[in-house]
Structure 1
Amino acid sequence: MTVTNEDELAGLREIGRIVAEVLQAMRRALEPGITTRELDAIGRAFLEREGAVSAPEASYGFPGATCISVNEEVAHGVPGPRRIAAGDLVNIDVSASKAGYFADTGASFVVPPGRALLERLCRDGQRACAIGIGQVRAERQLAGIGSAVGAFARANGYTLVQNLASHGIGRALHEAPEEIATWPTRGDRRRIRAGQVLTVEPFLSLGAEMAETGEDGWTLYGLPSAPVVQYEHTVVATARGPVILTRAA
């Protein structure tokens, strides 16, 4: 989607606020003993109160309102009976729509007490996302996002999952521009347009380079198996830089 007027921007800001606040509500509830199904129910109830609809559920028939991935699970984890334990690495991904506008956000958390290695990975995952967002500006190349994130990962001894890409968003959960790499690529000469809406969501890892689908047909696992974090925001490109839509009020 390309934003053309203030009404569209207001609609995107509203759903961006909602998914950001759902993510924070779920983070606050994250503690040892809670199941991923119970955590998902908190997210669903918040969305319903705000008049929003789960995007993965409505768009793809995903069996949950949100995606909750634990430890070996990289993304698209299905909510269920799994109980969260101290030290777990948990990713929560929230995407939803309201009044025809979509937004997508996500973050990874270590349930205390956590290993220092995982805490550092989370901090650097946030830095990687911020670096990628910093490349979003009208008329710049889309590939600049992956180049900047890749330089950070390489300098700090990390790998990037290279088959989970960022994407356009706005009037649908996934739309053009599709497959925006958050790792270094060659040959992508697409440029960012003013008003373009997209996600930035690098998957930073201690060794994984790809993701594969598990037996349930949804959950993704790293190859090779290694801790992975993901941080994601929905942003609008302007001539002055990115406008982040998915920040809690």
Structure 2
Amino acid sequence: MPRDLQGFLVAGRISQTRTVPASIARPEYVGRSAPKPFTGSDVYAASDVELIRESGTIAARAVEAVGAAIRPGITTDELDGIAHDYMIEHGAYPSTLGYRGFPKSSCTSLNEVICHGIPDDTALVDGDIINIDITAFKNGVHGDLNKTFIVGDAAPDVRALVDHTREALARGIKAVAPGRQINVIGRAIESYARRFGYGVIRDYTGHGVGTAFHSGLIIPHYDAAPAFDDVIEVGMVFTIEPMLTLGTVESPGSVAWDQWDDDWTITTRDKSLTSQFEHTLVVTERGAEILTLP
């Protein structure tokens, strides 16, 4: 089992790349080292929003299918297989597969892994928490979300972290309104997280999504004012995906992290547990509507 003597994660064995039928359209970056520069707009017409919703629904249902299979003993690679098969069966391409060389169809971030965990032969054990991050590409657009699950039973502080991270996302979404600046989202999230002494990951953010997997629009999850002063507009589509940790918070509020040699896996430096939730949403006249519901 790929964990060290203290129970912390180490890199496991990665299985062969899963195949996608030729009949399913690929994003433009598949087979290339990086995506093309995004030159479009983060504001979408209503018809395009509906296409993003379709991709988002597929991704959300894939997350639920994976969640239903989570139990002690199952490996993260087996969970990735469930995600992959669900998207393929519904005519969608797994957006992470081949994105900048990522080898799998989902991200499985376990315990101290903040984000971008690569599915491998790591077996889940009782008390773990695992984030399942899935993006589906169909009809030329992506829908992106993630959700943290508890494996079996967990300590009260761990359950509270997961519950509070879910609520932090809800508060970030509630802060969205046309005419406001992007930085109000992070302000709402960080002010809530501070009530419980959590660290907020600053270096990984929400982003514009739609025709591009990541458009270049940045949605920070901390109080970034006066920076990130883009004005929120009706029809904007982006993700909000706060990452909170039980660990050490360094001045001025940042959380230290390390990257594995795989160039993807990001862990808290102090090995503290971290939780994340994400939705893709569209800005409406009254606030925001979630596009990644099952």
Correspondent of 2:269 among 190, 214, 223: 223
Correspondent of 1:33 among 41, 49, 73: 73
Q: Which has the higher helix share?
A: 1
1:176 maps to a residue whose letter is G
Q: Which has the higher strand share?
A: 1
Alpha-carbon contact 1:163-1:211 (below 8 Å) kept: no
TM-score by length of 1: 0.95
Distance 1:215 1:59 in 2: 17
Distance 1:89 1:74 in 2: 11
2:223 maps to a residue whose letter is P
Query: SS of the residue aligned with 1:225?
Result: coil
For residues 196-211 of structure 1, the aligned pairs below 5 Å read 196-207=236-247, 209-211=255-257
RMSD: 1.2
Alpha-carbon contact 1:162-1:210 (below 8 Å) kept: no
Alpha-carbon contact 2:65-2:82 (below 8 Å) kept: yes
The alignment status of 1:214 with 2:260, answered yes or no, reads: yes
TM-aligned CA distance change 1:164 to 1:211, over 3 Å: farther
Give 1:84's aligned residue: 124
Correspondent of 2:225 among 186, 201, 211: 186
Correspondent of 1:50 among 70, 76, 90: 90
Q: Paired residues, what number?
A: 246
Distance 1:54 1:210 in 2: 30
Identity rate, percent:
34
Structure 1 window deviating more from structure 2 (200-209 vs 85-94): it is 200-209
Greater Rg by CA: 2
TM-aligned CA distance change 1:108 to 1:168, over 3 Å: same
Q: How far has the Cα of 1:159 moved from its partner? A: 1.1
Give 1:244's aligned residue: 290
Q: How far has the Cα of 1:13 moved from its partner? A: 1.1
Alpha-carbon contact 1:164-1:211 (below 8 Å) kept: no
Q: Deviations over 1:1-60 (max 9, x none)?
A: 31223x212201101100000000000000111111111000000000011111121432
Give 1:145's aligned residue: 185
Give 1:12's aligned residue: 52
Distance 2:271 2:111 in 1: 10
The alignment status of 1:120 with 2:166, answered yes or no, reads: no
The alignment status of 1:160 with 2:200, answered yes or no, reads: yes
Distance 1:156 1:175 in 2: 32
Q: Which runs of 5+ in 1 are unaligned?
A: none
Q: How far has the Cα of 1:215 moved from its partner? A: 1.7
2:277 maps to a residue whose letter is Y
Query: SS of the residue aligned with 2:142?
Result: strand
Alpha-carbon contact 2:98-2:104 (below 8 Å) kept: no
TM-aligned CA distance change 1:10 to 1:186, over 3 Å: closer
